[in-house]
């Protein structure tokens, strides 16, 4: 069984009626993307790392990073019916000079889906925030947000952008500064929020939604949900502020 190898469940998208997707770390050095056909395992078995690892079939040898698990045509047992070495997409706009390998990140806590507090040697093991695509279909969203950070870089609008997160050479995410003691902005922060939004106006950007996108710390207001900024900027009229 797969537990003969050191396998760690990194992320999962479990669907009882459709294919389930898993991002796994094997022997601490390679990341593999596994798809499981529906009806193979129960939701309970797939949602917890130890139980999932205990029921996975043996991993085939060789150089591969994508596999499909379905039932064997002869004995109806779960097995790898397909493996391949896939060149997964990566973020193309790699404007920052710093690269940080995903395997160099030490996870310090999950903030929300795909967003973690982390430490890494490049930043002297100070806590920062990593946001990355768990699966290939999320790359476009990360790419959009990466570009948004490029637009606002140096304008004190959002958290500082610290570099690109890579996996096997491709860019899958980024690091930003961790804002301690932050809270969602309230009515008392309207003036500061307008000032930050005004700086966005000067840059020619507009957010499709700003609800819950602001964070406030003592003496500072920042925009923290840059994925809501469209990738093609256009001017904001004063009535939209």
- Burial of residue 31 (number of CB atoms within 10 Å: 0-12, 13-18, 19+): middle
pTM value? 0.81
CB neighbour burial string for 58-97, b if at least 16 within 10 angstroms, e if fewer: ebeeeebbebbbbeeeeeeebbbeebeeeebbbbeebebe
Could you give the angle at which helices 190-203 and 139-152 cross, rounded to 10 degrees?
90
> What is the DSSP pairing of strand 161-167 with strand 99-101?
parallel
Q: Along the 241 residues of the chain, how does pLDDT read in single tens digits?
A: 454 689 999 999 999 899 999 999 999 999 999 999 999 999 999 998 999 999 999 999 999 999 999 999 889 999 999 999 999 999 999 999 999 999 999 999 999 899 999 999 999 999 999 999 999 999 999 999 999 889 888 877 778 999 999 999 999 999 999 987 666 666 766 666 676 666 666 666 444 433 344 444 444 555 555 554 444 333 322 222 2
Contact by Cβ (8 Å): 186, 229: no
**In angstroms, rounded to a whole number, what is the distance separating the alpha carbons of residues 86 and 47?**
25
The position carrying tokens 């898993």 is 22
The pLDDT of residue 4: 66
**In angstroms, rounded to a whole number, what is the distance separating the alpha carbons of residues 200 and 235?**
9
The pLDDT of residue 3: 44
Give start and end residues of each alpha helix (H) in the chain: 43-47, 49-55, 139-152, 190-203
The pLDDT of residue 5: 84
The pLDDT of residue 228: 47
- What's CA 220's distance to the chain center, in Å? 26
Query: In the chain, what are the domain boundaries?
Result: 2-84, 99-177, 183-240
The pLDDT of residue 202: 64
Q: Which CATH number fits the domain 99-177, given the four candidates 3.40.50.1220, 3.20.20.10, 3.30.200.20, 3.40.50.1000? A: 3.30.200.20
């Amino acid at each position: 069984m797969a537990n003969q190898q050191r396998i760690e469940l990194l992320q999962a998208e479990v669907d009882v009626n459709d294919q389930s997707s898993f991002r796994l770390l094997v022997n601490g050095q390679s990341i593999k993307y596994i798809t499981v056909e529906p009806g193979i395992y129960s939701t309970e078995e797939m949602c917890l790392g130890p139980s999932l690892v205990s029921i996975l079939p043996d991993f085939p040898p060789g150089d591969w990073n994508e596999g499909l698990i379905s039932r064997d045509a002869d004995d109806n047992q779960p097995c790898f019916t397909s493996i391949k070495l896939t060149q997964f997409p990566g973020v193309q706009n790699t404007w920052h000079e710093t690269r940080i390998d995903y395997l160099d990140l030490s996870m310090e806590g999950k903030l929300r889906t795909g967003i973690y507090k982390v430490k890494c040697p490049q930043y002297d093991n100070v806590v920062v925030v990593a946001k990355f695509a768990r699966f290939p279909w999320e790359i476009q969203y990360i790419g959009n947000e990466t570009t948004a950070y490029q637009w606002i870089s140096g304008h004190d609008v959002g958290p500082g952008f610290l570099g690109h997160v890579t996996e096997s050479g491709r860019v899958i995410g980024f690091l930003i500064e961790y804002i301690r003691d932050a809270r969602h902005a309230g009515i008392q922060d309207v003036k500061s929020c307008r000032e930050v939004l005004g700086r966005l106006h000067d840059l020619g950007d507009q957010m499709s939604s700003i609800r819950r996108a602001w964070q406030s710390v003592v003496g500072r207001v920042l925009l923290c949900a840059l994925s809501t900024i469209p990738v093609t900027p256009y001017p904001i009229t004063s009535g939209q502020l």
